[in-house]
Structure formats: structure tokens, C-alpha cells
């Protein structure tokens, strides 16, 4: 679920994003002891209470394990399985009573590079559809959507007006979902993503990559990039 936010960034997010980015980049790996609250307070010039909130939220998100009297450790994420629902960003925003807008920056066909072909299990050089769309909530940019589509599954993709409907809504109609594979990471945006999202390249982003299938064929691969300060991800987890 995405949430538009206004005003200055809360101080605790500086610590939270610093630790999350360090974990995503492998600076701290599963089982590592993270800097203490006292060390983080000194480094960022913040109160222990503010730092504690950052660590507490990372613990609630499953990224950190806290041991009283010892400290905070990077969680063993491989022990957690997650279930997410493929949802339409337009519907999410409407459910909150907010206004959704989309700007289409690219909608074209491309000859698949070897890397692109591997994403959709097609031959290099095969024609794919490529779109680049920015989604906004109440005028605030919350998502950059880069997508590859298999024309065999959605031959009319390029004819759609994605300022009136979303690729997700259209593709679920023409190619009913049978399977989805995804990954999530915290990383820094590319120059293009930072420009489209109106953020600095130093701002961590939450990135979801997903491939969806219908009747045994890969329909689409999508990369969804969200500014970390304007987005949180919600799902269900089981140990």
C-alpha cells in the first residue's frame, strides 16, 4: 500500500533508512550486531527515544531481531515466507479516497536484449512491449513503473490509454493471473528514476520486481520503484 506524505521527514526515518540501506547492500548481514542505540544517537545527534523507534519499526517489519540487554541483530530473512497480492495502484489510491494520476513517459516496442529475453523466457531479439509510467497520489509521485510485456499474451498493449486505466488492470483482464514471482529490495534510484520521482539519488527506494504468468506463459515483468519516504509495503507473513 502506498501513502502520500507531506512536510519534513521525521528524524527517526534517517536512522531507519540508514540501517535498512546498509542491510540491503550487505554492509550488515543476517546475524550481525547492529550499532547500539547509544552509538546511533551520537552519530545522528538524536535522542535514544528517536533511535529506539527506528529499531522498533525495523523489528516489526521483520528486518531486525532485538535481544534485551544485548542489542539488535539483522534478522534471518530466509526463514520468513511472504505472501503479497497483485493489486492495482489506481484501486489502492481510490480506496483511500485520494486522486490517482498517471503520466506515460514511454510506450513502445523493443527487440529483447539477452537480459530482457531471460526475464520473460523468450528468445533474444523477439519483440517485446516496453512502458515507463509514473503514478501519483493527490499530485505526489509515489511510484515509477517500468514494464516489459509479452505481445503473445497482450497483443493490444500499445493501443491502451494508460492515463485512463493501468497496465495491471488491463493485463489481468486479457491474461488472467495464474502465478507470480517477485523480489523486494531497498536500493538507491537510477538517475532516470530519481528524476521521474522528484527525489535525490541519495534517497533509498523500495523496489519490487515481479514476473506474472498466465496459462504457463510469462506475461509481464515489472519493476516498481517507490521513494522510501512516501511508501510502505504491507503483506502477510508466516514464520
Other residues' Cβ atoms within 10 Å of the Cβ of residue 88: 16
In angstroms, rounded to a whole number, what is the distance separating the alpha carbons of residues 193 and 199? 8
3-state secondary structure (DSSP) of residue 98? coil
3-state secondary structure (DSSP) of residue 226? strand
DSSP output for 174-201: HS---EEEEEEEEEPPPHHHHHHHT--T
What confidence tens digit (pLDDT) does each residue in 163-190 have? 999 999 999 999 988 888 888 888 999 9
What are the residues whose beta carbons fall under 8 Å from the beta carbon of 124, sequence distance 6 or more?
112, 113, 114, 117
pLDDT reported for residue 234: 58
What's the start-to-end Cα distance of the chain, in Å?
Answer: 22
Measured in degrees and rounded to the nearest 5, phi and psi for residue 30 equal: -50, 130
Measured in degrees and rounded to the nearest 5, phi and psi for residue 115 equal: -65, -45
pLDDT reported for residue 200: 92
For 30, the grid coordinates are 543476517
At residue 235 the predicted structure's pLDDT band, cuts being 50, 70 and 90, is: low
Domains of the chain with CATH codes: 11-78 (1.10.10.10), 81-238 (3.40.1410.10)
Other residues' Cβ atoms within 10 Å of the Cβ of residue 171: 24
Identify how many contiguous H helices and E strands the chain contains and give both numbers: 7, 10
What confidence tens digit (pLDDT) does each residue in 124-143 have? 999 999 999 999 988 989 99
In angstroms, rounded to a whole number, what is the distance separating the alpha carbons of residues 26 and 200? 22
What confidence tens digit (pLDDT) does each residue in 27-53 have? 888 788 999 999 999 999 999 999 999
Report which of 218, 226, 225, 227 is spatially closest to residue 148, judged by C-alpha positions.
218
Amino acid at each position: 500500500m502506498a501513502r502520500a506524505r507531506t512536510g519534513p521527514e521525521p528524524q527517526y526515518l534517517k536512522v531507519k533508512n540508514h540501517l535498512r540501506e546498509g542491510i540491503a547492500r550487505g554492509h550488515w548481514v543476517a546475524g550481525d550486531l547492529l550499532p547500539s542505540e547509544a552509538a546511533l544517537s551520537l552519530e545522528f545527534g538524536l535522542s535514544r527515544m528517536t533511535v529506539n523507534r527506528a529499531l522498533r519499526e525495523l523489528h516489526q517489519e521483520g528486518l531486525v531481531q532485538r535481544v534485551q540487554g544485548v542489542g539488535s541483530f539483522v534478522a534471518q530473512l530466509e526463514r520468513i515466507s511472504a505472501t503479497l497480492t497483485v493489486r492495482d495502484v489506481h484501486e489502492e489510491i481510490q480506496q483511500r479516497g485520494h486522486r490517482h494520476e498517471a503520466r506515460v513517459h514511454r510506450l513502445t516496442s523493443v527487440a529483447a536484449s539477452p537480459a530482457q529475453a531471460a526475464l520473460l523466457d523468450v528468445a533474444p531479439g523477439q519483440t517485446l512491449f516496453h512502458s515507463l509510467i509514473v503514478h501519483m497520489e493527490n499530485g505526489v509521485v509515489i511510484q515509477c513503473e517500468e514494464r516489459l510485456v509479452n505481445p503473445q499474451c497482450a497483443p493490444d498493449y500499445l493501443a491502451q490509454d494508460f492515463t485512463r486505466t493501468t497496465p495491471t488492470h488491463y493485463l489481468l483482464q486479457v491474461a488472467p493471473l495464474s502465478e507470480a514471482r517477485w523480489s523486494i529490495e531497498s536500493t538507491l534510484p537510477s538517475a532516470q528514476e530519481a528524476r521521474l520521482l522528484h527525489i535525490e539519488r541519495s534517497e533509498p527506494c523500495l523496489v519490487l520486481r515481479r514476473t506474472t504468468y498466465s496459462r504457463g506463459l510469462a506475461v509481464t515483468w515489472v519493476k516498481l520503484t517507490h521513494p522510501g519516504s512516501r511508501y510502505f509495503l504491507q503483506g502477510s507473513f508466516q514464520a
